[in-house]
Amino acid sequence: MESFSVPDTPADLDVAWLNQALAGADEFAGVTITDFSAEVVGEDRGFTGVVAAIQLEHASDATPRSLIAKFPLAERGVASIYRQAQGASQQPSRQMVERAAREVELYRATGGALPQLPRCYYAYADVETAQAVMLLEDLSGGEPGDALAGCSVEQARAVLAAIQPLHARWWQVDELATLAWPGTWASSNETRIAGYRERVEPVIAAFSGRLSQRQVEMLRSLATWLESGLDDLAAAPETLIHADLHLDNVFLMPERGAVLLDWQSPSRGPAAIDIAGFLVDSLSVADRRDHEIDLLGEYHRALQTAGVDGYSFDDLFDDYLRANCARLAGQIGWLYRTIDARPAGREAALVDAIFDPGRTFAVLLDHAVRLPG
């Protein structure tokens, strides 16, 4: 437990707490914060928690004058469909609390010093009291990714270059099994299968006007594929994965490359979960068709250069297609939650993107993925 009261929202911040929290960060050694201002930002991004940009006043010239305060369990002004799905109460579910705790533990384990992650000045989570707060590097000097707008091929290359060293670092190492804080991606496979079977027909009925006959056939066949396909994907080499890698969780920094945010789902699992989700959702369908083999090849060669062996490009590509099947199943779960509770704003636009441009459907159709049925 902390020896001082931990704030639950940006409104609870004060100068005394900031000074205590930042006292352990090298960047703020010997620095006294005299005043600050806080502004909630990014309410159109992400579906849980509250993020505030903090401007600091102090006498040091070398110390950052701004940072980001993240309250992953704080209540947003307008609840997302995801948050509503956690239960009738706006209080965070146990699952949300555990996800916040995983992010805190990841920053503590890495020391916040990896160039692929924002610097972490302070991180705290308590599962029992449902409290969590992080003070992170302000990345506003870079360009935030936008999952709706997509990115260029070069920007996609930068993100793959950021996640590859993390995958290589943890690739089938014994140490990974000793870590208490990551989840295990495959542990939810039975739930994924049962949930998909329950939801697929209601989704087909609710969105029949937006689905082609070929897409409907694919969704029905996917119910059978999941029984063995998820096991095949889970048999891929295990590493540490982000498990929610998309452009809204990326900042592109001018000299540093891509920085990866929102590590609430770090898991032991197949690297293809990160690669497939990011590439397919971030590139236009045309760019993905033209460049996916080259980009996957560059990622694979980088793994080999880092010492990963026994995993061929064909293995990677097969897992890439399997991961996209798994992602399509996940999208059906998201659509199911919107049948009775219609999303709004950015969340609605992201739901629309499942159908148009329909990137996940497109990649599976392009590669003639064979599903039973």
Domain boundaries, the chain: 10-137, 143-366
Angstrom distance (rounded) from CA 251 to CA 271: 20
Pairing state between β 183-184 and 267-270:
parallel
121 in Cβ contact with 136 (< 8 Å): yes
**Which of helix, strand or coil describes residue 129?**
coil
Tell which CATH architecture fits domain 143-366.
Alpha-Beta Complex (3.90)
Q: Using the predicted structure, report yes or no on whether residue 85 has a pLDDT greater than 80.
A: no
Output 301 or 85, whichever has higher pLDDT.
301
Banded pLDDT at 89 (limits 50, 70, 90): very low
Output 82 or 118, whichever has higher pLDDT.
118
b/e string for 85-97 if b means 16 or more Cβ within 10 A? bbeeeeebbeebb
Angstrom distance (rounded) from CA 35 to CA 210: 53
User: pTM for this structure?
Assistant: 0.91
Q: Using the predicted structure, report yes or no on whether residue 90 has a pLDDT greater than 60.
A: no
Pairing state between β 131-137 and 143-144:
unpaired
Mean pLDDT value across residues 337-346? 88
Angstrom distance (rounded) from CA 283 to CA 288: 6
Q: What are the structure tokens assigned to 185, written together?
A: 């991606």
- Which amino acid, 68? I
Closest CA to 262 of 102, 92, 147: 102
- The pLDDT of residue 78 is 47
Report CA-CA distances (Å) from 66 to 27, 30, 115. Answer: 12, 17, 19
- The pLDDT of residue 45 is 61
Banded pLDDT at 47 (limits 50, 70, 90): low
Banded pLDDT at 86 (limits 50, 70, 90): very low
pLDDT, tens digit (0-9, with 9 covering 90-100), for 147-199: 999 999 999 999 999 999 999 999 999 999 999 899 999 999 999 999 999 99
Output 42 or 274, whichever has higher pLDDT.
274
- The pLDDT of residue 185 is 96
Report CA-CA distances (Å) from 341 to 96, 112, 296, 345, 356. Answer: 20, 38, 37, 13, 20
pLDDT above 90 as % of the chain: 84
Mean pLDDT of the chain: 92
Banded pLDDT at 81 (limits 50, 70, 90): very low
